[in-house]
Amino acid sequence: MFVVVALFAFGSPGAEAQDRAVPANRAQVQLSFAPIVRETSGAVVNVYATRSERRQNAGMEEFFRRFFGEGGPSVPPGRSQSSLGSGVIVDPAGLVITNNHVIENMSDVKVALADRREFEAEIVLRDPRSDLAVLKLKNPADLQVIELGDSEALQVGDLVLAVGNPFGVGQTVTQGIVSALARTQVGISDYQFFIQTDAAINPGNSGGALIDMNGRLVGINTAIFSRSGGNIGIGFAIPSSMVRVVLNSARNGARNVVRPWLGARLQSVDGEIASSIGLPRPTGVLVTSVYDKGPAADAGLKRGDAILAVDGQSVDNPDGFGYRFTLKGIQGQTPLTILRDGKQINISVRLLPPPENPSRSPVKVTSRSPLSGATLVNMSPAVAEELQIDISDDGVVVADLDENGIAASVGFQKGDQIVAINGERLTSTKDVDRLTRRGGGYWEMTINRGGRVFTTVLGR
């Protein structure tokens, strides 16, 4: 079994790289990290999150038994769940950055400082796609903060410190180096672009700080690669460049992070594709389709183009492209370097948010049907981008599910596209509302899940 718990970013060398030097003597090697720890550790906090789960009501359980058979074990009354992680104070106003998975599905959050003060915290913004969240301390005072550093300036071999609360034993500092940059294919979040470190990171370190030798935050510890659940020297952190994007969204009052929309589908370039399009090695991303009303189409991007770089920063796969493109924001334009017909050319793509067209027109199903407890919305580029599904003209999309609702119990998932109900194709959420209100004991559902279309029958 493999576990995950964190590190940080990538980038091209900055001016600071010129100041690095191999230690000249034994005394330099024996220098202490204590001054850096003293200036930063007070800003690393413990995050405690809890929620109470309530038993499904008897009526819902009876409905479930009648139509869909027995489900899993019901939740005992008053049962609570809790999580423990770390966080970093990044603003004297009380803003704390942590991992989304630390507070996911939690309602009550408390933050404990290194000096043993405790604060209640409000969840200001959750961003599951980057696995980051922003908290706001209530009535903050006399807070130590960490300045955000430049993860783009990191180099493999740089010394870093990891600060957090592993296994809940209390604040702990470990030291290591940057082992690798721009790690993708890790399987942690939608925007995979991690800093890898050998600084000891363990469960409970999630959301803690990865600090450079200037005492600045360069990453948020997120995951470890491990067969046992403990540290084996392979940890991953989210780069401070992405932290800055999420933090700025929270400071601007947003409840979610709005990312730029390309309006094209991409895939990785393997050796065979690279050879066929004239690349000396597999690099970049291949454009497999272009949405006819999006920024990519407006910029002249075509199917078969290979995108090699975003604003001069090379990309090796769709994860790398998504990361680089997200950092550009949603204003102005950004240059893309592409390969077309064996020649490299530059084009400029407008940085725009995905459009809400048609409008979502959400419908929460409350009638007696298999979709009870599901919130459905109309498909649009914004919905497709948010749920990370392909744009399709078919059906409506499950945008949210009540945990204790019938829809969740029978296996519906967020992102499912409901194409038809009882043989009638859906064109909007109005159709869902009309068809589910009819009731009945027999339901035939046609579903598109991740490009696979299937029909299931639910009923007596």
Across all residues in the chain, what is the average pLDDT? 84
DSSP state of 221: E
Is the pLDDT confidence value at 66 over 90?
no
Least confident segment among 183-192, 196-205, 238-247: 183-192
CB 354 within 8 A of CB 344: no
Give the Cα separation of 195 and 217 in Å (integer).
Answer: 13
Whether residue 74 has pLDDT greater than 90 = no
Could you give the CA distance from residue 297 to residue 291 in angstroms, rounded to a whole number?
Answer: 7
User: Do 256 and 246 form a contact (C-beta atoms < 8 A)?
Assistant: no
- 149-166: b (≥16 Cβ within 10 Å) or e: bbbbbbeeebbbbbbbbb
> What interhelical angle do 240-251 and 318-326 show, nearest 10?
40
> What value does the mean pLDDT take over residues 233-254?
91
Within 10 A of 305 (CB to CB), how many other CB atoms are there? 25
User: What token pair was written down for 132?
Assistant: 């980051």
78: tokens are 């008053």
The residue to which tokens 């100041």 are assigned: 19
Question: 281 in the Ramachandran plot: left (φ > 0), alpha (ψ -120 to 50) or beta?
Answer: beta
In this prediction, what percent of the chain has a pLDDT beyond 70? 83
Q: What's the rounded Cα separation, in Å, for the pair 70 and 51?
A: 26
**According to the model, what pLDDT value does residue 19 have?**
63
For residue 174, the cross-strand partners are 162
Rounded distance, CA 257 to CA 442, Å? 40
Question: What's the CA gap between 190 and 207, in Å, rounded?
Answer: 17
> Tell me: the pLDDT tens digits for 206-228?
899 999 999 999 999 987 765 65
Which is nearest to 249 in space by CA: 404, 346, 125? 125
Q: What is the pLDDT of residue 18?
A: 53
- Ordered by where they begin, the domains of the chain are 1-13+31-256 (2.40.10.120), 264-350 (2.30.42.10), 363-459 (2.30.42.10)
For residue 449, count CB atoms less than 10 angstroms from its CB and return exposed for 0-12, middle for 13-18, buried for 19 or more: middle
> Given this model, what pLDDT does residue 72 score?
38
Residues 209 and 147: their CA atoms lie apart, in Å, by 11
The amino acid at 210: L
> If you compute the radius of gyration of the chain from its CA atoms, what whole number of angstroms results?
24
Diameter over CA atoms, the chain = 82
* Residue 445 pLDDT greater than 80, yes or no: yes
Contact of 395 with 448, CB cutoff 8 Å = yes
pLDDT at site 67: 39
Does residue 242 sit in helix, strand or coil?
helix
Nearest to 290 by CA among 314, 266, 323: 266
| 22-45 residue pLDDT tens | 667 766 666 788 889 999 999 999
Statement: residue 383 has pLDDT above 80? yes
Q: Which pair of tokens denotes residue 195?
A: 């800093």
Measured CA to CA, the distance from residue 108 to residue 138 in angstroms comes to: 13
- Check whether 14 has a pLDDT greater than 80: no
Phi, psi of 248 (to 5 degrees): -65, -35
205 pLDDT band, cuts 50/70/90, is confident
End-to-end CA distance of the chain: 39
Mean per-residue pLDDT for 93-116? 91
Does residue 404 carry a pLDDT above 50? yes
pLDDT tens for each residue of 354-379: 999 889 999 999 988 999 999 999 99
Given a contact cutoff of 8 angstroms between Cβ atoms, the answer to whether 349 and 370 are in contact is no
DSSP line for 330-378: SSSEEEEEEEETTEEEEEEEE--PPP--S----EE--SSSTTTTEEEEE
Closest CA to 224 of 1, 41, 46, 10: 1
Judge whether 7 and 201 are in contact, CB under 8 Å. yes
Query: How much is the average pLDDT of 408-433?
Result: 92
pLDDT of residue 187: 52
Contact 189, 129 (CB under 8 A): yes
Tokens representing 404 are 């204790």
**Residue of higher predicted confidence among 414 and 106:** 414
The verdict on whether omega for the bond into residue 358 sits within 30 degrees of 0, i.e. cis, is: yes
Cα gap 368→56, rounded to integer Å:
15
pLDDT of residue 52: 56
Q: Which residues pair with 127 in a beta bridge?
A: 132
pLDDT of 170 over the 70 cut:
yes
Residue 358: how many CA atoms within 13 Å on its side-chain side? 16
Q: Which residues are marked as active site?
A: 101, 131, 206
What whole-number distance in Å separates Cα of residue 184 and Cα of residue 199?
A: 19
Which two three-digit tokens encode residue 128? Answer: 């599951």
Q: What local confidence, expressed as pLDDT, does residue 64 receive?
A: 38
Checking if the pLDDT of 386 tops 90, the result is: no
Task: Please check the confidence at residue 258 and state whether its pLDDT lies above 70.
Answer: yes
Q: Which residue has the higher pLDDT, 248 or 388?
A: 248
344: pLDDT confidence band, cut at 50, 70 and 90?
very high
Mean pLDDT score, 120-127: 94
Kindly tell me if the per-residue pLDDT of 100 is higher than 50.
Answer: yes
d(CA 350, CA 143) in angstroms, rounded, equals: 40
pLDDT bin (cut points 50, 70, 90) of residue 2 is: very low
Contacts of residue 201, Cβ cutoff 8 Å, sequence gap at least 6: 5, 6, 7, 162, 164, 166, 174, 208, 221, 224, 231, 235
pLDDT attached to residue 408:
92
Model confidence pTM above 0.85: no
pLDDT at 65: 41
For 269-328, how does the pLDDT look when each residue is reduced to its tens digit (9 = 90+)? Answer: 999 999 999 999 999 999 999 988 899 999 999 999 999 999 999 999 888 899 999 999
